Amino acid sequence: MRKLGIIKDPRLTHLWRPYTQMKTEANPYTAVETRGAQIKLLDGRWLIDGISSWWTACHGYNHKHIIDAMHNQLDIMPHVMFGGLTHEPALKLSSRLASILPGKKSSKALTHIFFSDSGSVAIEVALKMATQYWLNLGEPNRNRFVCFKNAYHGDTIGAMSVCDPDDGMHAIFKGAIPEQIITEIPNSIKKFKEFEKLLEVNGRNIAGLIIEPLVQAAGGLKFHDTEILSNIYNICVRHNILFIADEIATGFGRTGSMFACDQADITPDIMCLGKALTGGTIGMAATAANAKVFSAFLSNEENKAFMHGPTFMANPLAATAANASLDLFENNQRLEQVKTIEDDLLVDLELCRDVPSVVDVRVKGAIGVVEIKEPIDIHWLRHRFTKENVWVRPFDNVIYLMPPFIINKGELKTLTKAVLTVIKEWALRTA
């Protein structure tokens, strides 16, 4: 039976899909083509993408400038190892990133870039870097991390340890992963006092603090404001705790500025990038460090060097795509586009607030969130959205939009209208 783009293919047996209960969950839709802000399914329908393929495709799909650059690079050198060798795409990318990351030109600038192939690995690199920083300084007990409820930093063991402890994705691994110091993001004078106390008490064991600045993404799309972020940062500075910003989701314009840290005017010691780094074309991630962190690894002792090196790190094809993506940020009004999306989301999603099952509507940059009362039937909702010809995938109790920045007004309207239509229907079903 052909049903809404879901086509049974016997080869599906061999695909083990992400976050999927393979016994009960419906088959996936088959995508056959992408263009601009849209994804084409095997049955011929084009869906407007409200998620930018897990927040990566910031310039939309198949952007000619990126594709052309990649074609060129593909012919010359798709890959070469990074041990003992370097190449123009990586040299160019590292210096360009250093020149735009928070703190640019100051003594705190994030001037040293370590490349890897996925966000989770960039996080592992950051945690390992912070741990070895203290080892190299002769403080071996500083090996734990302060992190937050509702946080999401990836799926590998180290990254999981700094995620929300109760989140369904990771709660089952309790006991199997390192124990960290997990607390709430403080949001009052009293809570800040408690927070600072926590850092004081544990100070000698803490290597660093890790946070998704301004927007906690996959852990529930919770926002906090710039003042909270800068207060947390200042407390870390006071207690000599390395501040690690995970901008894998927020980086490259998503929250309205190039990086979320820019809005709070803070410069982390270590920053992780991924997702939109290559404009959503190919996997790549980076961990950037300031001179303070970097210099702790400089020594006449070999074993003080940073002992890490993913096989495909700084892949030339990916670095070329990332350079082309940076060109697009330089030569287009991407942040203005984000502002326009923000304005439209603010107006159009506000209409959802009156629907009985809605508990909150919030918008930051090109991120729009409608939070609904639990329990929700995620599979019904996801399926229902495709009938509106949009690709929107709610998780937990949030329906969110993070569209490509190049989306046009009509397409965005279709997305916000679909959200309103579907949650109204959901409210009727649950009334």
Report the amino acid identity of residue 69.
A
Binding ligand PLP by CB under 6 A: which of 38, 118, 255, 416? 118
The tokens for 350 are 């506000």
Residue 426 CA neighbour count, 13 Å, CB half: 31
Q: Which is nearer to ligand PLP, 218 or 229 (CB)?
A: 218
Give the nearer residue to ligand PLP in terms of CB position, either 110 or 355: 110
Give the C-alpha separation, 81 to 87, whole Å: 10
Shortest-Cβ-distance residue relative to ligand PLP: 119
Tokens encoding 258: 């190039």
Annotated active-site residue 233? The verdict is no
* Bridge partners, residue 182, by sequence: 147
- State in angstroms the smallest separation of the CB of 179 from ligand PLP: 20
CB of 300 to ligand PLP, least distance (A): 35
Closest by alpha carbon to 382, among 29, 46, 23? 29
What track of x and - describes contact with ligand PLP for positions 198 through 227 (by CB under 6 A)? Answer: --------------x----xx---------
Nearest to 208 by CA among 174, 175, 233, 178: 233
Stretch of 175-183, 246-254, 338-346, 357-365 lying at the interface with ligand PLP (CB under 6 A): 246-254
Contacts of 84 (CB under 8 A, 6+ apart): none
* Residue 385 contacts residue 42 (beta carbons within 8 Å): no
Options 147-155, 183-191, 406-414, 418-426: segment touching ligand PLP (CB under 6 A): 147-155
Q: Which residue has the tokens 């926590």?
A: 198
CB of 226 to ligand PLP, least distance (A): 18
Q: Is 153 in the site for ligand PLP (CB under 6 A)?
A: yes
**Around Cβ 339, how many Cβ atoms within 10 Å?**
14
* 248 forms part of the interface with ligand PLP (CB under 6 A): yes
User: Is 364 designated active site?
Assistant: no
Residue of 49, 117, 164, 246 marked active site: 246
- Contact region for ligand PLP (CB under 6 A) — 112-120, 171-179, 253-261, 420-428? 112-120
Q: Which of residues 252-311 bind ligand PLP (CB under 6 A)?
A: 274-275
Q: Is 400 marked active-site?
A: no
What is the Cα–Cα distance from 249 to 245, expressed in whole angstroms? 11
The single residue of 152, 344, 348, 400 carrying the catalytic annotation is 152
Closest approach, Cβ 212 to ligand PLP, in A, equals 5
119 binds ligand PLP (CB under 6 A): yes
- Least Å distance, CB 159 to ligand PLP, is 7
Residue 246 designated active-site? yes
Task: Round to whole Å and give the CA distance between 211 and 167.
Answer: 16
Across 220-250, b (16+ Cβ under 10 Å) vs e yields bbbebebebbbbbbebbeeeebbbbbbbbbb
Give dist(CA 73, CA 77) in Å, integer. 6
Q: Which residues bind ligand PLP (CB under 6 A)?
A: 118-120, 123, 152-154, 212, 217-218, 246, 248-249, 274-275
Active site residues: 19, 152, 246, 275
